[in-house]
Amino acid sequence: MDKPTLPKGTRDFGPATMAKRQFILDNIRKVFQKYGFMPLETPAMENLTTLTGKYGEEGDQLLFKILNSGDYLKNADATKLETRNSKQLTFDISEKGLRYDLTVPFARYVVMNRNEVAFPFKRCQIQPVWRADRPQKGRYREFYQCDADVVGTDSLICEAEIILMIREVFKGLGITDYTIKINHRGILNGIAEAIGAAGNETPMFVAIDKLDKIGEEKVKEELREKNFSENALTKLFQLLNVKGSNTNKLAVLFKEFETIASGQKGLRDLRLVFDFLRDYGSDESNVELDVALARGLSYYTGCIFEVKINNVSIGSVSGGGRYDNLTKAFGDKENLSGVGFSFGVDRIYDAMEELNLFPKDAQVSSKVLICYFDDESFRYGLGVLSKLRQAGIASEIYPDLSKIKKQLDFANKKMIPFTIVIGSEEVSTGALAFKNMTNGEQQKLTIDQIIKQF
Amino acid sequence: MDKPTLPKGTRDFGPATMAKRQFILDNIRKVFQKYGFMPLETPAMENLTTLTGKYGEEGDQLLFKILNSGDYLKNADATKLETRNSKQLTFDISEKGLRYDLTVPFARYVVMNRNEVAFPFKRCQIQPVWRADRPQKGRYREFYQCDADVVGTDSLICEAEIILMIREVFKGLGITDYTIKINHRGILNGIAEAIGAAGNETPMFVAIDKLDKIGEEKVKEELREKNFSENALTKLFQLLNVKGSNTNKLAVLFKEFETIASGQKGLRDLRLVFDFLRDYGSDESNVELDVALARGLSYYTGCIFEVKINNVSIGSVSGGGRYDNLTKAFGDKENLSGVGFSFGVDRIYDAMEELNLFPKDAQVSSKVLICYFDDESFRYGLGVLSKLRQAGIASEIYPDLSKIKKQLDFANKKMIPFTIVIGSEEVSTGALAFKNMTNGEQQKLTIDQIIKQF
Per residue in B298-318, pLDDT (tens digit) is 779 999 999 999 999 888 999
**What's the rounded Cα separation, in Å, for the pair B281 and B404?**
58
**A116 at the B interface (CB within 8 A)?**
yes
Predicted local confidence at residue A52, as pLDDT: 93
Predicted local confidence at residue A329, as pLDDT: 82
pLDDT one-digit tens code per residue, B279-294: 999 999 999 999 999 8
Q: If pLDDT is split at 50, 70 and 90, which confidence band does A1 have?
A: low
**B440 at the A interface (CB within 8 A)?**
no
Please tell me the number of Cα atoms within 13 Å of A280 on its side-chain side: 25
For chain B (454 residues), the mean pLDDT of every run of 10, in chain order, is 89 94 95 95 97 89 95 92 92 96 95 92 97 90 97 96 97 97 96 92 89 92 94 94 94 95 96 97 96 82 96 90 87 86 95 93 84 96 96 95 96 94 96 95 96 93
Lowest pLDDT segment from A178-182, A325-329, A398-402, B65-69: A325-329
**B402 at the A interface (CB within 8 A)?**
no
Rg for chain B, CA atoms, rounded = 28
Sign of CA dihedral A138, A139, A140, A145: positive
Distances (CA, A) of B323 to A381, B339, B381: 26, 6, 61
CATH 3.30.700.30 fits A364-453, yes or no: no
Is A280 within 8 Å of B385 when comparing Cβ atoms?
yes
Is A414 within 8 Å of B11 when comparing Cβ atoms?
no
Which ipTM did the prediction report?
A: 0.92
The mean pLDDT of chain A is 93
How many CB pairs (< 8 A) connect A and B? 275
Q: What 3-state class would DSSP assign to A338? A: strand
Is B330 within 8 Å of A4 when comparing Cβ atoms?
yes
Is A279 within 8 Å of B132 when comparing Cβ atoms?
no
Q: Which of B417, B409, B412, B407 is nearest to B450 (CA)?
A: B417
Is A410 within 8 Å of B279 when comparing Cβ atoms?
no
Q: If pLDDT is split at 50, 70 and 90, which confidence band does A58 have?
A: confident
Is B71 within 8 Å of A86 when comparing Cβ atoms?
yes
Is B331 within 8 Å of A111 when comparing Cβ atoms?
no
**Closest by Cβ to A18, choosing from B6, B39, B331:** B39
**Closest by Cβ to B4, choosing from A12, A111, A389:** A111
**What's the rounded Cα separation, in Å, for the pair B129 and B145?**
7
Chain A residue numbers touching B47 (CB-CB < 8 A): 4-7
**What's the rounded Cα separation, in Å, for the pair A118 and B398?**
12
CATH topology of domain B12-171: BirA Bifunctional Protein; domain 2 (3.30.930)
**Closest by Cβ to B399, choosing from A13, A155, A392:** A155
**B282 at the A interface (CB within 8 A)?**
yes
Chain B residue numbers touching A11 (CB-CB < 8 A): 43
Predicted local confidence at residue A297, as pLDDT: 63
**A142 at the B interface (CB within 8 A)?**
yes
Is B67 within 8 Å of A66 when comparing Cβ atoms?
yes
Question: In chain A, where are the structural domains located?
Answer: 12-171, 364-453
Q: How far is B366 from chain A (nearest CA, A)?
A: 5
**B123 at the A interface (CB within 8 A)?**
yes
**B237 at the A interface (CB within 8 A)?**
no
**A100 at the B interface (CB within 8 A)?**
no
**Closest by Cβ to A7, choosing from B7, B47, B382:** B47
Is B14 within 8 Å of A109 when comparing Cβ atoms?
yes
Nearest CA in chain A to B51: A4
Q: How far is A402 from chain B (nearest CA, A)?
A: 12
Is A67 within 8 Å of B47 when comparing Cβ atoms?
no
pLDDT one-digit tens code per residue, A274-311: 999 999 999 999 999 999 998 876 679 999 999 999 99
Question: Do B364-453 and B12-171 have the same topology in CATH?
Answer: no
Predicted local confidence at residue A363, as pLDDT: 72
Chain B residue numbers touching A43 (CB-CB < 8 A): 6-7, 10-12, 142
**B272 at the A interface (CB within 8 A)?**
no
**A13 at the B interface (CB within 8 A)?**
yes
For the beta carbon of residue B71, count every other beta carbon within 10 angstroms.
12
**A281 at the B interface (CB within 8 A)?**
yes
